Amino acid sequence: MIPQSFEYCRPGTLPEAIALLEQHGDAAKILSGGQSLIPMMKVRLARPEYLIDINQIAGLQYIKEENGYLKIGGLTREADLETSDLVRSKYPIILDTASMIADPQVRNLATVGGNLAHGDPANDHPATMLALGAEIIAVGPRGERNIPVKDFFLSVFTTALEHGEILTEIRIPTPRAGSGGAYFKLERKVGDFATVGVAAQVTVDTAAICQEVGIGLTNVGATPLKANRAEDFLRGKRLDESNIKQAAQLAAEAAQPSSDLRGPAEYKVSMVKELTRRALTRARERAAAQPIR
């Protein structure tokens, strides 16, 4: 219940923060929302000697469209994603996702950057960002770089972020007309991590042929997973019930869940299939509501 002692720094700028991270190396951790880190510190699973609080750094909280992308600042709170008209109207898959993270109080502090950078396969945004083909912007000692999200998750609690790098922005290519997406999360109760979560984003043409598709899976592996074979199967095919079912089957085959208190692995695999079916079906409905003219 009580964290180990640490030194606290609150840099006012990104370069200051990066310098502190470099200076203290592995002994330092970034504090953004803190809603994953602080609980770990309270049970002393995380014992940083230096906590670098980046919440005062200006210019990291925004949700805007620019140059063909939805750009979300790394410090943007989940609650702000929930209430954003832009997200609700044009990127409802992100609203689906944000609104299922933990509970209202946690969402007031938790950041989308933290949700991704923490590297927990049980977090919800990773699957959605995989489905959306997002890009992660990281700023560190060697400057700024752009990491495609499919290369971002390496293993449990390990991302492509190097020490000293801070996730400053998530960029999502603005989907074309005829696109829709949805995130479905099966949880034991509100506030729980996903038993299984599936994000599906599709773009269909006027003949209902699937032009683009992204399917991300939550908490069924050591990292969030991209259901590549399911995506490959659907691309170029009609997004109808039969194909959705087959894609769902392929997505299930990509899942590598463990048996735990949320259920046996066999159940989770089946739930990937079920939720993929539901997510693709909802994505198709939403795509139909934003048709190509």
Partner 1 sequence: MATKKLVRVKVNGRDREAEIEPRLLLVHFIRDVLGLTGTHVGCDTTNCGACTVILDGRPVKSCTVFAIQAEGREIQTIEGVANNGQLHPLQEGFQEEHGLQCGFCTPGMILSAYALLEKNPHPTEEEIRWGISGNLCRCTGYQNIVKAVQYAANKMSEEKHAA
Partner 2 sequence: MLHKTSPEIGGMGHSVKRKEDLRFIQGKGTYVEDVHLPAMVYGQMVRSPYAHARIKAIRTEAARNFPGVLAVITGQDLEKAGLSWMPTLFHDKQMVLATGKVLFQSQEVAFVVAEDRYTAADAAELVEVDYEDLPVLVDPHRALDADAPILREDREEKTNHIFHWEVGDRKATDSVLQSAPVKAKLDAFFPRCHPAPLETCGCVADYNSATGKLTVWETSQAPHAHRTLFALVAGLPENNIRIIAPDIGGGFGNKVPIYPGYVCAVVASLQLGRPVKWIETRSENLQSTGFARDYHMTAELAADRDGTLRGLRVKTLADHGAFNAAAQPSKFPAGLFSICTGSYDFATAFCEVDGVYTNKAPGGIAYRCSFRVTEAAYLIERAMDVLAQELKMDPVELRLKNFVPPDKFPYQSPLGWSYDSGNYHGAMNLALEKIGYRDLRKEQEDKRQRGELMGIGISSFTEIVGAGPAHTFDIVGIKMFDSCEIRVHPTGKAIARMGTKAQGQGHETTFAQIIAQELGIPVADITVEEGDTDTAPYGLGTYASRSTPVAGAATSMASRKIREKARKIAGHLLEVNEEDLEWEPGKFYIKGAPSKSKTIQEIAFAAYTDLPPGLEAGLEAVHYYDPPNLTFPFGTYICVVDIDKGTGEVKVRRFVAVDDCGNIINPMIVEGQIHGGLTEGLAIAFMQEIAYDENGNIQGGTFMDYLVPTAVETPNWETDKTCTPSPHHPIGAKGVGESPNVGSPAAFVNAVVDALSHLGVRHIDMPITPWKVWQILKAKGVAE
Q: Is the dihedral of CA 219, 222, 226, 227 positive or negative?
A: negative
Query: Residue count at the site for partner 2 (CB under 8 A)?
Result: 23
- Quick one: which of 75, 102, 134, 136 contacts partner 1 (CB under 8 A)? 102
Query: Residue count at the site for partner 1 (CB under 8 A)?
Result: 31
CA–CA gap between residue 287 and residue 260 (Å, rounded): 36
270 counts as binding partner 2 under rule CB under 8 A: yes
Sole residue written with tokens 């198709």: 284
**Residue 108 or 243 having the CB closest to partner 1:** 108
3-state secondary structure of 114: helix
103 counts as binding partner 1 under rule CB under 8 A: yes
List alpha helices for 118-154, DSSP H: 125-132
Sole residue written with tokens 């770089």: 145
The answer to whether 153 and 223 have CB atoms below 8 angstroms apart is yes
Residue 290 identity (one-letter amino acid): Q
The answer to whether 11 and 57 have CB atoms below 8 angstroms apart is yes
Q: Contacts with partner 1 in 245-284 (CB under 8 A)?
A: none
- Quick one: which of 28, 30, 79, 116 contacts partner 1 (CB under 8 A)? 79
**Residue 100 or 247 having the CB closest to partner 1:** 100
3-state secondary structure of 165: coil
Residue 47 Cβ vs partner 2, minimum distance, rounded to whole Å:
11
| 274 contact choice in partner 1, partner 2, none (CB below 5 to 8 Å, kind-dependent) | partner 2
4 counts as binding partner 2 under rule CB under 8 A: yes
- Quick one: which of 191, 236, 288, 291 contacts partner 2 (CB under 8 A)? 191
Residue 213 Cβ vs partner 2, minimum distance, rounded to whole Å:
21
The answer to whether 228 and 254 have CB atoms below 8 angstroms apart is yes
Q: Which stretch binds partner 2 (CB under 8 A): 11-19, 154-162, 189-197, 231-239?
A: 189-197
Number of C-alpha atoms within 13 angstroms, CB side, residue 24? 18
Residue 234 Cβ vs partner 1, minimum distance, rounded to whole Å:
33
User: 285 is written with which tokens?
Assistant: 């409905």
The region, left, alpha or beta by phi > 0 then psi within -120 to 50, assigned to residue 182 is: beta
Q: Which stretch binds partner 1 (CB under 8 A): 20-28, 104-112, 147-155, 170-178?
A: 104-112
Q: In what order do the strands lie in the sheet with 7-9?
A: 7-9, 50-53, 28-31
Q: Which residues here bind partner 1, judged by CB under 8 A?
A: 1-8, 10, 31, 34-35, 38-39, 41-43, 51, 53, 55, 79, 83, 102-106, 108-109, 190-191
Q: Which residues here bind partner 2, judged by CB under 8 A?
A: 1-2, 4-5, 44, 103, 186, 188-192, 195, 261-264, 267, 270-271, 274, 277-278
